[in-house]
Amino acid sequence: MPNLIFLMLIAVVFYTLLVRGPRQRARRRQEVVAAMGVGDEVVTIGGIVGRIAAVDGDRVALEVAPGVTLTFLRAGINRRIEPVDDSPGESGDAVDLTGGGADLDASGDDDLGGGDLRDGTA
């Protein structure tokens, strides 16, 4: 008898973790996607960030840059995000978001050293 109760308890835990949880997350995501409107800033499932310019049925037009609009299906929108404040920081200095990568000089060579891969001198 205790083994049967233990097995039933395990079944309930598995149902909760493997079935009910993902269903609830999917339902919440569908509610968020259905509630999207023009002007909302969103992220697609591919990681593209944009502002909704128009909604037509199951299609959404995202403005990803000034004058650049991409069309996605509603299902391709992952989530809504809070808009980023475009004003400069407290110090007024611009923030470098590139990670300080290597600069290219006029010849197109980078600052990493080494040779040219095409002629095998790397």
Q: What confidence tier does 37 reach under pLDDT thresholds 50, 70, 90?
A: confident
Average pLDDT value for residue range 28-54: 89
Could you state, in order of their start, the residue ranges of all structural domains in the chain? 1-35, 37-84
Angle at 64 between CA 59 and CA 70, to 5 degrees: 35
Indicate whether 120 pLDDT > 90: no
How far, in whole angstroms, is CA 60 from its chain's centroid?
16
Cα separation of 115 and 122, whole Å? 4
Indicate whether 93 pLDDT > 60: no
- Quote the tokens at residue 28: 């919440």
Whole-structure pTM value: 0.52
Cα separation of 93 and 78, whole Å? 32
Level-2 CATH architecture, domain 37-84: Roll (2.30)
Q: Looking at residue 18, what DSSP letter applies? A: I
